[in-house]
């Protein structure tokens, strides 16, 4: 009997131990489920943060909409005050600093140094400030040698890029790349360029490329002929002074949004979109008050049908040659806002704009212009052109100026449209061209068979 009782006690003890073990296992599972890396508490926290972020972003976007619709609420200081008020609801009075950064705003929580970037479109992003510049290291993907990974730290197999463009000299092993993935935050000590990446189709994680310290975007995407997928909204251009040839040769670009670009410090935009495949381009947000070079800016944008440059300040430009040359699909161009007082060279400015039917150059001051060679040549769709404000007293070259522009009905010239004896006007007009001249209200029917007869008519009624 005693032996049976001992046996029962042994079984009971074993059962108890097993029960305790099971309970401990269950407790462990429960704790992990609650507190693990992907636990319920973490998920709940993430959901709470996401909800707060969405609420914050909604309020910020409403503030931005208000700033655009209310003419009394449109200065940067008012927007900064509004953002400060919004973030103080979450973090407390007096704990928020707001700083303008290009077209974006940086919101800093003083106690924790938590940082937010409020973008020009109202999007709110949490980020870490990266003050230290980094080297850039590259490595081909282990499974696909057409994919290149970029990092700021030297890791196994990663090679430091010695130059500021990826496919140059020592980096020639990276040729033929179709996709670039930026794996971690980079503040490049060089002005990182993707130029001559002729096979490149996509750049992933552009938000990790921090360009606020960069001053030179020269040829950044030059001849990236196949590039289609790249988010340019993250580029900080607030300190950039040079953008010439930035998108030249990007033939696969169709529509690009550059609304976020801060161009207030840019001086050089020469050939910026030369040969770019973009179809619509709205640059009305560009500040060009410091730009001194825009020649060849849109040269050979053969797909371009719509262009908005209504905000351009061109007062410092001396050279506008080839600015719109060969924009063969562009139908309308309004340059009424252009200040051309300083300009000396307008050679080939609209040459080859064969679809252009409406051109407004009524504000042009050409008193300092010396070269108008080929200026309107091959503008085959232009019927009426008002040059009544043109002063050509200093022009020494008008050769081929209207050559190939066969559709003219009316060409309006003022009394300051002078052709001097030393001015080259070879083949200024196409032979066998019939058209009407209107000179200061005096309309003259001119039927020419040679360029010399046209010269005589102009001299006779203007001089």
Confidence class of residue 49 from pLDDT cuts 50, 70 and 90?
Answer: low
pLDDT at 35 over 80: no
Q: Give pLDDT, residue 25.
A: 77
Task: Name the least confident of 1-5, 179-183, 332-336.
Answer: 1-5
Burial of 253 (0-12, 13-18, 19+ CB in 10 A): buried
Q: What is the 3-class SS of 141-166, one letter each residue? A: CCCCCCEEEEECCCCCCCEECCCCEC
| Greatest Cα pair distance in the chain | 142
Q: Give pLDDT, residue 226.
A: 95
Q: Give pLDDT, residue 161.
A: 77
Q: Give pLDDT, residue 19.
A: 81
Mean pLDDT within 422-441: 64
Is residue 58 in a domain? Answer: yes
Give me the percent of the chain exceeding a pLDDT of 90: 41
Q: Hey, is 443 helix, strand or coil? A: strand
Asked if 136 contacts 150 with a C-beta cutoff of 8 angstroms, the reply is yes
Q: DSSP states of 292-335 as a string?
A: -B-TTTTTT-TT--EEE-TT---TT-SB-TTSSTT-TT--EEE-
Confidence class of residue 76 from pLDDT cuts 50, 70 and 90?
Answer: low
Is residue 55 in a domain? Answer: yes
Mean pLDDT within 435-450: 44
Alpha-carbon distances of 284 from 21, 230, 248, 258, 299, rounded to whole Å: 71, 21, 20, 10, 19
Is residue 180 in a domain? Answer: no
Mean pLDDT within 406-417: 81
Which pLDDT tens digit goes with each residue over 273-284? 999 999 999 999
Is residue 402 in a domain? Answer: no
Confidence class of residue 452 from pLDDT cuts 50, 70 and 90?
Answer: very low
Is residue 53 in a domain? Answer: yes
More confident residue, 178 or 57: 178
Q: What is the mean pLDDT of the chain?
A: 82
Which pLDDT tens digit goes with each residue over 358-410? 999 999 999 999 999 999 999 999 988 999 899 999 999 999 999 988 887 78
Q: Hey, is 28 helix, strand or coil? A: helix
Q: What is the DSSP letter of 345?
A: B
Q: Give pLDDT, residue 243.
A: 97
Asked if 70 contacts 55 with a C-beta cutoff of 8 angstroms, the reply is no
Which pLDDT tens digit goes with each residue over 8-20? 555 677 777 788 8
Tokens of 452: 């010399």
Mean pLDDT within 62-66: 72
Sequence-distant (≥ 6) Cβ neighbours of residue 425 within 8 angstroms: 398, 399, 401, 419, 451, 455
Q: Give pLDDT, residue 197.
A: 86
Q: Give pLDDT, residue 454.
A: 41
Asked if 284 contacts 310 with a C-beta cutoff of 8 angstroms, the reply is yes
Is residue 218 in a domain? Answer: no
pLDDT at 33 over 80: no
Confidence class of residue 42 from pLDDT cuts 50, 70 and 90?
Answer: low
Task: Name the least confident of 185-189, 215-219, 226-230, 246-250.
Answer: 185-189
pLDDT at 327 over 80: yes
d(CA 386, CA 359): 9
Q: Give pLDDT, residue 3.
A: 54
Tokens of 164: 């500021």
pLDDT at 346 over 70: yes
Confidence class of residue 453 from pLDDT cuts 50, 70 and 90?
Answer: very low
pTM above 0.85?
no
Q: Give pLDDT, residue 164.
A: 61
More confident residue, 446 or 311: 311
Which pLDDT tens digit goes with each residue over 129-165? 666 777 888 889 999 989 999 998 878 888 887 666 6
Q: Hey, is 93 helix, strand or coil? A: coil
Q: Give pLDDT, residue 445.
A: 43
Q: Give pLDDT, residue 392.
A: 92
d(CA 288, CA 320): 14
Is residue 435 in a domain? Answer: no
How far out from the chain centre does Cα 33 lie? 46
Mean pLDDT within 152-180: 72
Give me the torsion for CA of 307, 311, 317, 319, rounded to 10°.
Answer: 10
d(CA 85, CA 72): 18
Is residue 287 in a domain? Answer: no
pLDDT at 440 over 60: no
Q: Where are the beta strands (DSSP E) in 141-234?
A: 147-151, 159-160, 179-182, 202-204
Q: How many domains does the chain have?
A: 1
Q: Give pLDDT, residue 443.
A: 43
Which pLDDT tens digit goes with each residue over 287-302? 999 999 999 999 999 9
Mean pLDDT within 418-428: 85
Alpha-carbon distances of 226 from 74, 153, 223, 248, 340, rounded to whole Å: 40, 29, 9, 12, 36
Residue with tokens 């032996």: 3
267: number of CA atoms within 13 Å, CB side?
4
d(CA 451, CA 376): 16
Task: Name the least confident of 101-110, 310-319, 420-429.
Answer: 101-110
Range of the domain at 114: 40-127
Among candidate residues 207, 166, 158, 208, the one with its CA nearest the CA of residue 184: 208
Q: DSSP states of 372-424 as a string?
A: -TTTTTT-TT--EEEETT---TT--B-TTSSTT-TT-SEEEE-TT----TT-B
């Amino acid at each position: 009997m005693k032996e049976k009782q001992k046996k029962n006690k042994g079984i009971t003890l074993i059962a108890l131990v097993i029960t305790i073990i099971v309970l401990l296992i269950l407790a462990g599972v429960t704790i992990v489920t609650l507190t693990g890396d992907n636990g319920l508490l973490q998920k709940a926290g993430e959901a709470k943060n996401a909800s707060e972020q969405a609420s914050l972003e909604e309020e910020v976007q409403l503030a931005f909409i208000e700033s655009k619709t209310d003419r009394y609420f449109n200065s940067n200081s008012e927007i900064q005050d509004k953002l400060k008020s919004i973030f103080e609801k979450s973090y407390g009075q007096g704990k928020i600093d707001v700083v303008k950064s290009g077209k974006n705003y940086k919101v800093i929580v003083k106690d924790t140094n938590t940082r937010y970037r409020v973008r020009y479109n109202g999007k709110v992003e949490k980020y870490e400030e990266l003050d230290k510049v980094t080297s850039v290291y590259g490595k081909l993907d282990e499974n696909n040698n057409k994919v290149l990974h970029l990092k700021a730290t030297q890791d196994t197999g990663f090679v430091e890029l010695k130059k500021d463009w990826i496919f140059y000299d020592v980096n020639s092993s990276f040729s033929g790349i179709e996709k670039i993935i930026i794996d971690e935050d980079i503040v490049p000590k060089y002005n990182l360029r993707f130029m001559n990446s002729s096979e490149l189709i996509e750049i992933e994680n552009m938000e990790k490329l921090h360009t606020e310290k960069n001053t030179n975007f020269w040829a950044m995407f030059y001849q990236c002929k196949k590039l289609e997928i790249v988010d340019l909204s993250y580029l900080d251009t607030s300190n950039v002074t040079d953008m010439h040839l930035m998108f030249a040769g990007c033939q696969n670009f169709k529509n690009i949004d550059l609304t976020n670009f801060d161009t207030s410090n840019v001086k050089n935009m020469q050939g910026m979109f030369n040969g770019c495949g973009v179809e619509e381009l709205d640059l009305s947000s560009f500040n060009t008050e410091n730009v001194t070079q825009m020649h060849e800016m849109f040269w050979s944008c053969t797909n371009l049908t719509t262009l908005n440059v209504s905000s351009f300040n061109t007062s410092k430009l001396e050279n506008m040659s080839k600015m719109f040359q060969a924009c063969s699909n562009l139908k309308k161009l309004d340059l009424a806002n252009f200040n051309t007082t300083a300009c000396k060279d307008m050679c080939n400015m609209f040459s080859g704009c064969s679809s252009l039917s409406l051109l407004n150059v009524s504000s042009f001051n050409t008193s300092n212009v010396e070269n108008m060679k080929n200026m309107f040549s091959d503008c085959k769709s232009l019927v009426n052109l008002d040059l009544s404000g043109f002063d050509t007293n200093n022009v020494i070259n008008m050769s081929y100026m209207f050559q190939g522009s066969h559709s003219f009905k009316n060409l309006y010239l003022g009394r300051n449209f002078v052709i001097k004896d030393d001015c080259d006007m070879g083949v200024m007009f196409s032979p066998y061209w019939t058209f009407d001249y209107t000179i200061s209200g005096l309309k003259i029917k001119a039927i020419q068979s040679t360029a010399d007869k046209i010269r005589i008519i102009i001299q006779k009624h203007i001089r």
